[in-house]
Structure 1
Amino acid sequence: MSFREETDDGRGDLRKPFLHTGSWYRMGSRQSSLMSSSQVIRDSSVSVLACVLIVALGPIQFGFTFSLFGSLSNVGAMVGAIASGQIAEYIGRKGSLMIAAIPNIIGWLAISFAKDPSFLYMGRLLEGFGVGIISYTVPVYIAEIAPQNLRGGLGSVNQLAVTIGIMLSYLLGLFVNWRLLAVIGILPCLVLIPGLFFIPESPRWLAKMGLTEDFETSLQVLRGFDADITVEVNEIKRSLASSTSRRTAVRFADLKQRRYWLPLMIGIGLLCLQQLSGTNGVIFYSSNIFQSAGISSSNAATCGVGAIQVIATAIATWLVDKTGRRILLIVSSTGMAVSLLLISVSFFLKGFVSEDSSVYAILGILSVVGVMCMIVCFSLGMGPIPWLIMSEILPIKIKGLAGSVATLANWFCSWVITATAPLLLDWSSGGTFIAYMAMSAFTVAFVSIWVPETKGKTLEEIQFSFR
């Protein structure tokens, strides 16, 4: 049997290759389910989780990139971000990830076999370009395939994969040189490309493109062959019917429409505040903070930071569908503000005591505690959730263009923090962390006033609420 069998209307039927022998799905006359509802839910979870684990290979490679390279990769990511939404809209989420994998592979090869600095610069830019596409496409794909009761946890796997990539690069860097580490960085994309052939395209993208039969087939595969998808199909169709989104070009002028202001402000605001709260600056200076506390091994410190990020993000993945997005964001931002205040106070007080005194050592320990608490708080909320909310609240009509703008804003702010952190820290360490603290405090107010709770709602319900 060929992968695409022709139907009476001439369009390919993607349904049949996915069906088990003896199992047959018809929208018109559905056979009664032989499975219990719990079995259907379990099958749906397994199918969606398999898709999430495959696309999460992209963020793992993303973590490798940004644990090794700095601001130049951010520039490449900004270029990739500009293109990300439009690529994902025109050729689909899977096609977008496949395109992103190619410059990543070429970039790692250029770095690994570099003969002069120009190859390193080119490799970093290519890596960043691929990451810019991945950072938008993966959370959007996960949000569009996940059941509403699991979307938060599955969506947070995106950030969990990033932290795993960062930790792996730290650990492997202890044992191999940078050229071999660059070769290892290729592996996630080499697995991602063939893996994409075994997972369905986003059903919501297929529906938006008018591929109704393929859309229903994809959704049936994701929910289980014996699941009743009628309600979800009708809800998605109603959402599309009330929009003029299908196959229509979206321009920047469309983003100025009043009905889009709030979701755009929330999506872009959270992704900017994620960076402006200064996490990259704290991590940049963490080795100095550890040394001041008597921790001389920077390798041990960075591996510890990587492990803490993974554990805290895993906890957030478990909590986000239980407690909700807003409460985690508020707790996370509040904790970050308090931690940054602790770090800044310890630095200010160090200026009044002798380096040989016991008080100076205690202040060093306090600054380390502040760094660890800040990283934990960031990973519990402000790390994973802004990407999740961006993928949930942007209206389907403008998602591609608006998502590109939001992703570009995130990477621009990341570049600003990465580029200015050394200058600010040379100017005043305590003053720098006070500035970061102010941004975290502003984030608490921003979330409390503007960010809605999206837990337990379908994407269509979320987007309808903004009308």
Structure 2
Amino acid sequence: MPRKSDLKSANAEKYVQEIEKQEELDIRLHGEVQKVSTIRRALPQVLASTAKNLILLDLGMTIAFPTFVIPALLNAKEGLSFTATQASWFGSISFICQPLGSILSGILLEPLGRKYSMLIVNIPHIIGWLMLYSASSIFTMYAAAVIMGLGVGFMEAPIITYVGEISEPTLRGILTSYAGLFVSLGFVVTFTLGSLAHWQQAALISCLVPIVTVVAISQVPETPFWLLSRGRIEEAEKALCWLRGWVEPRAIRKELAEMIRYSEASKLKNTRPTFEKAVYANTINLDDEKEEPKIKNFENNVAISGNSKHITVNEEINEEDPGYRDYSTNMDRSAHFVNVDLNNGHQSETEKSNSKNNNTVHLEKQLTDSENGWKIILKDVVRPEMMKPLSVVILFFFFLSFSGITAMRPYLVLILKALNIPIDPYKTTGILFGVGFSATVLCMLCVKRLGKRAIALPSFLGCGISLIGLMVYSYVGNGTSSPSWVPFGFLVILQFCNGFGVSPVPWMLVSEVFPFRGRSLASGIAAAFSYILSFVAAKTCLSLITAFTLPGTFLLYGTINIIGLITLYRYMPETEGRSLEEIEEGYKSSKK
């Protein structure tokens, strides 16, 4: 007897064959579908990602800013001056504010959309940079750090979700690692500005980045997934045409149809929104292994007429399912019916009227049943396909935060002085950030070929070895008065491994491992944990150095890297090259 998974695979092949038959008919009626080169298909996705990544450029500049401000103000004799305690707060206070922004982002992302959320996030950064430029007191600098921390937290969910929903599986790994490139570039830009201008002038110049970002993001489309979740099919079609190479609607017909099925299936409680479930509901018996599944007349599901192409998804809903009333929108109580004109993106006037009436009823129910809504949200979060990837991501963020670089970054100049490296500490910091930038570029080039596990795991090993090497040097060889290149070499290895795999990979995972239903909230939760852990790491770094000395702190961070290597080897799956649906299904079926 064949396994159920084998039957599903066979059914998918039959469905694809039927699609191909209809496409052949379409070619006879309307001619060849527009051919699109690989470069043209990838270019709009790269452009949209670049516009989004300008936010990350600002993020990198925000994170790096305390690194050269703290040494300038620590125990300064004129003007503003930090004590050691004040310096530790300025270097970490933005991290503790970021979780609030992340949670707020997760809540507002669905009603606002990805694009408008990315536009709004630039406002606190503009305000923060201007406050730093005009700062005349420590309180003002704290306030600026708090505002920018909220902005950084708010940005995470939309930028992570955006790239996952606009990109094809073959490009997603490259585009997510491409995002990390801009964070590293932000570090380099900040230190370049800091070496050429006073820190307040550098803050004013930095204010230009979020302004340019607003202009760039206004030119790119919203994600098709979000538009479909709002029933805006015509706009989703236009967005997908733009993102796949500015093509005609016929060229993206099959992909849009699959998105529609997945989007609609995701609205149903206790419905598994996989490709097979979404496509074969009520046309293929997926649960009966004894009976050969049958496909009904394909024209009932995909109908093509002379001047327009319609894809109709007709899916019966079990009225006994208690989740039906909570998740169905724009649906008849007895059946789920979507009729899409993929040439013009129009719905009939009758459907529009019914949709408005159903939307009104659904809205009234939401307003009168908010408690039940929160229960549904909680159930979404505790689903295995949500909790398993969320646990892996949070673990990864813990090891990232205590891998060394995140904790030491605000105090890197001070640590370099203690290590007695034969280069100016400010120049050394700039070199290290340049190394991190180069490592991120290499990650972007290698992730598709090697996969995320092959990048992340050796990177943790490299970080652990370099930190233990720094511990040995600090304990044994730092008693001499002559400068040494040995710690510089270990720091280069540490920065390279961090930029190559430890830092970019968890954000790649956040963009792709969560199910569509609940993705925004999960992304916000993951980002919130990231910043809480980053705050703890940055705030405690100076205290650890005081309590355990610098060699002891290096040993602690090195040990955490080795533990991270072992843990992620056991629990982190490979997601490179897999579709979002395949990743979700993998977590559902996983017993880990």
Structure 1 and Structure 2 fold alike (TM over 0.5): yes
- Separation (CA, whole Å) in 1 of partners of 2:112 and 2:485: 52
Quote the residue 1:263 is aligned against: 389
Q: How does 1:219-258 map to 2 (within 5 A)?
A: 219-224=240-245, 225-226=247-248, 228-244=251-267, 251-258=377-384
Distance in 1 (CA, whole Å) between partners of 2:408 and 2:523 is 27
Partner of 1:423: 543
**1:439-450 to 2 correspondence within 5 Å?**
439-450=560-571
State the shift of 1:402 in Å.
1.3
User: Do structure 1's residue 171 and structure 2's residue 192 form an aligned pair?
Assistant: yes
Show the counterpart of 2:453.
Answer: 326
| Count of aligned pairs | 431
Please give the residue correspondences for 1:83-162 in structure 2 after superposition, counting only pairs within 5 Å.
83-162=104-183
Match of 2:576 in 1: 455
Deviation at 1:264, TM superposition (A): 1.4
Question: For each residue in 1:177-236, what CA deviation from the matched residue of structure 2 results, as whole angstroms up to 9, or x when unmatched?
Answer: 122111111112101112222100011111222222222221111002057323322332
**More displaced 10-residue stretch of structure 1: 399-408 or 118-127:** 118-127
CA separation of 1:86 and 1:182: change in aligned 2, threshold 3 A:
same
The question of whether the paired residues in 2 share the 8 Å contact of 1:267 and 1:389 is answered with: yes
Q: Secondary structure at the match of 1:392?
A: coil
Q: Which residue of 2 aligns with 1:10?
A: none
Unaligned runs of 5+ in 2: 1-25, 67-90, 269-326, 330-372
SS in 2 for 1:367: helix
- Please give the alpha-carbon distance, in whole angstroms, between the structure 1 residues aligned to 2:163 and 2:457: 24
Alignment of 1:264-343 (within 5 A): 264-284=390-410, 286-291=412-417, 292-343=419-470
Q: Distance in 2 between matches of 1:34 and 1:396?
A: 30
8 Å Cα contact 2:473/2:487 also seen in 1:
yes
Corresponding residue for 1:399? 519
In 1: Cα distance, 2:169 partner to 2:110 partner: 22
Separation (CA, whole Å) in 2 of partners of 1:84 and 1:140? 11
Cα distance in structure 1, aligned partners of 2:31 and 2:228: 24
Cα deviation, residue 288, structure 1: 4.6
Q: Distance in 2 between matches of 1:131 and 1:106?
A: 13
Of 199-208 and 413-422, deviating more is 199-208
- Deviations, residues 251-289 of structure 1 (Å, cap 9, x unaligned): 345322344321111222222221122222343454355
Assess, with a 3 A threshold, how the Cα gap between structure 1 residues 421 and 371 changes in structure 2: closer, same or farther. same
Q: Distance in 1 between matches of 2:149 and 2:514?
A: 24
Q: Is the 8 A contact 1:59 1:135 kept in 2?
A: no
Identity, in percent, stands at: 26
Is 1:194 the equivalent of 2:191? no
Cα distance in 1 between the residues matched to 2:466 and 2:455:
16
Instruction: Give the secondary structure class of the aligned counterpart of 1:57.
Output: helix
Letter in 2 for 1:378: N
1:355 counterpart = 2:376:
no
Root-mean-square deviation (Å) = 2.3
The structure with the largest alpha-carbon Rg is 2
State the TM-score, normalized to the length of structure 2.
0.69
Displacement after TM superposition at 1:372 (Å): 1.1
Q: In 2 relative to 1, CA 34–84 (structure 1 residues): closer, same or farther, beyond 3 Å?
A: closer
Structure 2 residue matching 1:251: 3-state secondary structure: helix
Q: Distance in 2 between matches of 1:119 and 1:153?
A: 39
Kept after mapping to 2: 8 A contact 1:139/1:158: no
- Residue number in structure 2 paired with 1:48: 45
Q: Is the 8 A contact 1:393 1:463 kept in 2?
A: yes
**Separation in 2, partners of 1:346, 1:429:** 11
Which of 77, 85, 96 pairs up with 1:75?
A: 96
Distance 1:182 1:288, change over 3 A: closer
- Residue 63 of structure 1: CA displacement? 1.0
Q: Which moved more, 1:413-422 or 1:127-136?
A: 127-136
CA distance in structure 2 between the partners assigned to 1:98 and 1:220 by the alignment? 22
Q: What stretches of structure 1 of length at least 5 have no aligned partner?
A: 1-25
Distance 1:234 1:268, change over 3 A: farther
Q: Deviations over 1:285-312 (max 9, x none)?
A: 5435543344251221111111111111
- The amino acid of 2:491's aligned partner reads V
Query: Which of 228, 233, 236 is the aligned partner of 1:212?
Result: 233
Distance in 2 between residues matched to 1:179 and 1:152, nearest whole Å? 37
Pairs within 5 Å for 1:4-43: 32-35=32-35, 37=36, 39=37, 41-43=38-40
In the alignment, is the contact (CA less than 8 A) between 2:161 and 2:519 conserved in 1?
Answer: no
Per-residue CA distance 1:401-426 (angstroms, 9 max, x = gap): 21111101000010011000001112
Deviation at 1:240, TM superposition (A): 2.6
Letter in 1 for 2:32: S
Deviation per CA, 1:338-368: give whole Å up to 9, x if none.
11111112222247xx424x7xx5xx43322
Structure 2 letter corresponding to 1:433: F
Please report the TM-score for the alignment, with normalisation by the length of structure 1. Answer: 0.87
Does the CA contact (< 8 Å) of 1:282 and 1:371 recur in 2? Answer: no
